[in-house]
Structure 1
Amino acid sequence: MAIRLLRGVLSGLKWALCAVGAVALILAAMIATPLERPPEMQSVSDSAKGVDWSTLPPLERFQARDGTWIGYRHYAANSPATGRGAIFIHGSSGSSGTVNHALTHAIAARGVETWALDIRGHGGSGTRGDIGYVGQLEDDLVDFVAQIRKSAPDLPLTLIGHSAGAGFSLRVAATPIMQDMFVRTVLLAPYLGYDAPTNKPKAGGWANADLPRLFALAALRKLGIDCCSQLPVLALAVPPTSAKYLVSTYSDRLMRNFATRGYRIDLPATTRPITIFGGTDDEMMISDKYAEAVQAVKPQVDVKIIDGINHMGIVTSPKAVSVIADDVATRGSGQS
């Protein structure tokens, strides 16, 4: 009887090992699935036309807590100064030196001292397309604010983000340690997370995700195995010759960090005023759904939709730039 019992145990163990092996092979095959880059999105590439680059400040750098040099650009406030400050977070693929310069320059021209940051993994900050761990971008921003406070200890700061940078800004606004750093958050054409009703499929052609690899890495994390997060999982529709200026792919950990945790999670946790700006002609987002989506979770969020503006036009079009720069320069911490 003992022999039969032993045989049964060994048989069960054999089948269990076979099942584990099969799952391992499936996950390995999913991780090995190649990431395909989408074709260039012309509306994004064309957004650089007409931007006055002659006023672009030089790239400066500060050292983050891990010793990495992080790039940023400082726009001194034009006289008369408003006694306000702003930090701008660019969108996916970009940096402080891309087309959002049209907006950051306009904000400073209205008397708001402005800083545009190269998020780690972009521009002059760290390794292109990757970071060390999820949460590192928040650590970098804390370090950057500390750098600003050396010369401007009491300047009230507004956090402004565009697209994926707006999703990250919402993540920041919901983080307890960072809530008191900013008096207000302004989200421009925000990516609100994979499950938001404001998303167009594949961001209108801008982004292509390696879903098998994403699912496999998520499954491994559920099992307590956080491996391979340096692998690219998201490809962006940048021009093939733009590697000097733009990031073409994101690693799993960069993609997870440079985003909101989900608007239904982050919005309820925010404590400071939030304003969302969108454009009626946004080719990546469904702007007319912003108000319904966010106000169902947080009724106090102010939503403004600008007629005739597309996704990149929100930071480049003179019409949108004027509206947003005026808003940042005149609305205070007590207004949403």
Structure 2
Amino acid sequence: MAMQLLRGALSLLKWGLCAIGAVALIFTALIATPLERPPELHSVSDSRKGVDMTTLPALERFQARDGTWLGYRHYAAGGSATARGAIFIHGSSGSSGTVNHALTAALATHGVETWALDTRGHGASGTRGDIGYVGQLEDDLVDFVAHVRKSAPDLPLTLIGHSAGGGFSLRIAATPIVQDLFVRTVLVAPYLGYDAPTNMPHSGGWASADIPRFLGLAALRKLGIDCCAQLPVLAFAVPANSERFLTPTYSDRLMRNFATRGYRLDLPAVTHPMTIFGGAEDEMMISGKYAETVQAIRPSVDVKLIEGVNHMGMVTNPKAVNAIAEDVATRGANQS
């Protein structure tokens, strides 16, 4: 009898180990799937044409709480100062030194003192394409605002984000520890999350995700195993040999942090005024759906569409950048 029980236990152990081995092989296969970069998207690459980069401010740095030096650019208010300030968050792959300079310069020209941040994982901030943990970008923004407050202690600040930076700005507007640092949030052609009806398939050819790797890492987290989050899971359609200026891939943890938690989750938690600007000719987002998508959850969000402008044109086209800059310069914190 004892021998039968022992044989039964050994058999169960054997099949249990086989099952664990099979699951381990499945996870290994999912995670090992290579990430493929999409072909160059010329509507993004060509957006650099016509942007005067000779007026780009010098790169400055501040030290985040973990000791890492992060980059940013400061635009002093020109013309008639408005006693307003803005912090600008660039889109996916970009930095403070890319084409969004047209918009940040326009903000300053309209009298808004402006700071453009190299979000960690981009430009001159940290390791390209990676961060240390999900939530680090929020910590960095808190540290950056504290740095800005050394020279502008009382200036009302508007948070402005473009594309993926718009999604991250929505995340910030819904985060209690950070949202009170800003009086207003402006989202420019924002990426509202993977499940938003405002997305073109594959972001119009801009982004390619390693779905098997993403699903494998997500399943491991569900099991309490948080490993391999430094692996790349998202690639962008940047030109070849553009790594000096652009970030071609995102790690799993950077992709999860530089985004909303989900627009359905974040929008109800927003307490300050918010405006969304979209380009009617956006090839990455379905701008015509911004109003119905967002206002179904938060009716007070103001949505403005600019005719004849595509995704990158929202930060480069004079019609768009002047409309956004005029809005930030003239609308108060009590207005959406």
Please say whether Structure 1 and Structure 2 have the same fold, judged by a TM-score greater than 0.5. yes
1:24 counterpart letter in structure 2: A
Partner residue of 1:179? 179
Query: Which consecutive segments of 4 or more residues in structure 1 shift more than 3 A?
Result: none
Counterpart in the other structure of 1:41: 41
Determine if the alignment matches structure 1 residue 146 to structure 2 residue 114: no
Separation in structure 2 between the aligned mates of residue 29 and residue 148 of structure 1, nearest angstrom? 46
- SS of the equivalent of 1:74 reads strand
Where does residue 253 of structure 2 map in the other structure?
Answer: 253
In structure 2, distance between residues paired with 1:191 and 1:12: 49
SS class of match (1:226): coil
Q: 1:305, 1:200 → 2: CA distance?
A: 17
Write the letter of the residue equivalent to 2:205.
Answer: G
Distance 1:40 1:52 in 2: 23
* Residue identity in the other structure for 1:332: G
**Structure 1 partner of 2:332:** 332
CA-CA distance at 1:259 after TM superposition? 0.5
Distance 2:177 2:130 in 1: 24
Look up the match of 2:289.
289
Return the alpha-carbon distance in structure 2 between the equivalents of residues 298 and 7 of structure 1.
63
CA displacement at 1:151 relative to structure 2: 1.0
Aligned mates of 2:37, 2:125 — CA distance in 1: 23
Deviation at 1:272, TM superposition (A): 0.4
1:236 positional shift: 0.3
Q: State the Cα distance separating 1:6 from its structure 2 match.
A: 3.0
Listed as ranges, the gaps of 5+ residues in structure 1 are none
Secondary structure class of the residue paired with 2:244: coil
| TM-score normalised to structure 1 length | 0.99
Corresponding pairs, count: 336
Q: Return the alpha-carbon distance in structure 1 between the equivalents of residues 16 and 278 of structure 2.
A: 53
Task: Name the structure 2 match of 1:87.
Answer: 87
> Counterpart of 2:240?
240
> Aligned ranges for residues 46-195 of structure 1 at < 5 Å?
46-195=46-195
CA offset digits 1:268-298 (Å, max 9, x no partner): 1110011111011101011111111111111
Letter in 2 for 1:35: L
Q: CA deviation at 1:5?
A: 2.8
Distance 1:323 1:221 in 2: 43
The percentage of aligned residue pairs carrying the same residue is 79
**Shift of the alpha carbon at 1:179?**
1.4
> Secondary structure in 2 aligned to 1:17?
helix
* 1:104 maps to amino acid: T
The 2-side partners of 1:138 and 1:126 are apart by: 15
Q: Deviations over 1:146-176 (max 9, x none)?
A: 0011111110000000000000001111100
CA distance in 2, matches of 1:6, 1:269: 57
Distance 2:321 2:171 in 1: 24
SS at match of 2:153: coil
Separation in structure 1 between the aligned mates of residue 16 and residue 320 of structure 2, nearest angstrom:
60
For 1:8, the equivalent position in structure 2 comes to 8
User: Which residue in the other structure is 2:265 paired with?
Assistant: 265
The aligned amino acid for 2:198 is T
Deviations 1:105-132 (A, max 9, x none): 0001111100000000100101111111
Distance 1:13 1:276 in 2: 58
TM-score normalised according to structure 2 size: 0.99
Distance 2:170 2:4 in 1: 61
Mapped to 2, the partners of 1:224 and 1:207 lie a distance apart of 28
- Where 1:113 maps in the other structure, the secondary structure is strand
Write the distance in 1 (CA, Å) between the matches of 2:16 and 2:295.
49
